[in-house]
Structure 1
Amino acid sequence: MADKRPISQLGDPVLRQTARPISNVQDDWVQPLIDDLILTLIQSQGVGISAPQVGSPHRIVVMASHPNERYPDAPMMEPTVLINPRMIDHSEAYVTDWEGCLSIPNIRGRVPRYQAVEVEYTTPAGKLQRQVFTDFIARIFQHEFDHLEGMVFLDRLQQPQELMTEQEYRQRVLTPVLAGR
C-alpha cells in the first residue's frame, strides 16, 4: 500500500495562501493528487482534507465522513471529491461545535458554522454539480473550504477559552457524551 503524503502543519505558508483554481480537471497531475488526498485522508482517519494540507495550493477538497475515534457520531459518506468548490448559499442558522484539524494536531476548538450550505463544484469527471450539505457534512465542507481560502479553524474561534487539547476534549467532552448514551 502506498504511503500517505505528509500533512502541512500550522505555520506552513501553503496553509495561509488562497488556493488556485484547476483549469482542466483532465490534466495529468490532477487524478494522482486526488488519489493521494483520499489515501492521506483515510490513513489519517480524518473526515475531510484539502489540497493545501498536502502542500498543493489547488482548489480540491475531499470529504469522507465516517464514525471514528475523533468523531464517533459522524455520519457515513463515501469519499466525495470537490474541485473548484463554491458556496452558493447558506442557512441563516449557525451551529457551534467542536472541530479539530489534521494540520493542527491535538487541538480542538468550538467553531460556529452555517447549519446548511449549498455548494457548486466540479467532479473529477468534469461534471458540474450542485448539492446541499447539512449538519456535520456542512461543517466538514466549510472547514475544508476555509483551507482553500488560506484560513484555519482557529481563525473562526469566537471564544479563545473554547480551545483545548485533544486529551482534554476526550476526557471532558467526548467521554461524558459517550457515557450518556
Structure 2
Amino acid sequence: MILPIYAYGQPVLKKIARPIDKDYPELQQLISDMWETMEEANGVGLAAPQIGKSIRLFIINSGPMYPEGEEGKGIKQVFINAEIIEEAGADCSYSEGCLSIPDITGDVDRPEEITITYQDEEFNEYTTTFTGMNARVIQHEYDHIEGILFTEMLSPLKKRLLKRKLTKIRNGDIEQKYRMKFVRV
C-alpha cells in the first residue's frame, strides 16, 4: 500500500526515533509498504519518520544514483536500529533532495565513508563500512531517524533563500507528484 509521505513541518520529522524489536506490529507489511511508497515517489531512500512512524527504520535503493551501467554498485537494503559508529575520509559535497521536501535541493557536505551497525528485517546484526554514494544515501536517511533534515545543513544564505518555499511546503501550498501529508497551519 502506498503511504502518504509526511511533508516538511510535520513534528515527527524532528524527533529522534526510538528503537524497535522483533515484536513491532506488522513490521514486514510496513517494510513492504515503504518500498512501494518510495518507488512510487521515485526516491532512493525512505525513513519511517517520513511516513509518520518515529521508529529507527529506513530503506535505501542507491542504484539509481550511479551512472548508467554502474547501478550494480548501489545497494537495496533495510536498516533497523542503525547507529553510525565511525565517519572517515574527506567531506564531499553533493546536491541532495528529499521526498519530504519536494522540489528543493542543496549542496550538503558529508564524510565519504561511514561504519554503521544495524539489523536487517530478520533482526540479524551487522557492522558494515560503506563509501561513496551508498554512504551518502545512508547518512541522509540516518539523519531522518535522528530528527535532522538536509536543509539544516545548507549554508545560511541558501536557508534564507529557501524560507518562502519551505513555508509553502509546510502549508501544502505546492503541486506534488505523490501522496503527502501536510501540517496546513
TM-score, normalised relative to structure 2: 0.79
User: Match of 2:63, SS?
Assistant: coil
Paired amino acid for 1:152: L
Residue-by-residue CA offset, 1:76-106 (whole Å, 9 max, x unaligned): 4352000000001111410011000000000
User: Match of 1:34, SS?
Assistant: helix
- C-alpha separation between the residues in 2 aligned to 1:64 and 1:27? 23
Is 1:27 the counterpart of 2:6 in the alignment? no
Contact 2:63 2:76 in 1 (8 A): no
State, as a whole percentage, how many aligned pairs show the same letter.
35
- C-alpha separation between the residues in 1 aligned to 2:129 and 2:114? 6
Paired amino acid for 2:36: L
Which of 5, 21, 30 is equivalent to 2:3?
5
- C-alpha separation between the residues in 1 aligned to 2:122 and 2:158? 44
Equivalent residues, number: 159
Partner of 1:144: 141
- C-alpha separation between the residues in 2 aligned to 1:27 and 1:102? 25
Runs (4+) of structure 1 exceeding 4 A deviation are 162-165
Contact 1:97 1:111 in 2 (8 A): yes
CA gap of 1:106–1:72, structure 2 versus 1, over 3 A, is: farther
- C-alpha separation between the residues in 2 aligned to 1:161 and 1:54? 26
Deviation at 1:35, TM superposition (A): 1.1
Residue-by-residue CA offset, 1:93-137 (whole Å, 9 max, x unaligned): 100110000000000000000101001001111110111111111
RMSD after superposition = 2.0
- C-alpha separation between the residues in 1 aligned to 2:24 and 2:144? 22
Which of 64, 86, 89 is equivalent to 2:86?
89
Contact 1:38 1:79 in 2 (8 A): no
Deviation at 1:72, TM superposition (A): 6.3
TM-score, normalised relative to structure 1: 0.81
Structure 2 segments unaligned to the other structure (5+ residues)? 166-185
- C-alpha separation between the residues in 1 aligned to 2:120 and 2:101? 28
User: Match of 1:14, SS?
Assistant: helix
Which of 161, 176, 180 is equivalent to 2:158?
161
- C-alpha separation between the residues in 1 aligned to 2:30 and 2:123? 15
Residue-by-residue CA offset, 1:28-49 (whole Å, 9 max, x unaligned): 3221211111111111111111
Which of 84, 95, 98 is equivalent to 2:95?
98
Structure 1 segments unaligned to the other structure (5+ residues)? 166-181
Deviation at 1:66, TM superposition (A): 2.5
Contact 1:53 1:103 in 2 (8 A): yes
Deviation at 1:158, TM superposition (A): 2.9
Partner of 1:178: none
Paired amino acid for 1:16: K
Which of 62, 65, 74 is equivalent to 1:65?
62
Which of 34, 47, 56 is equivalent to 2:53?
56
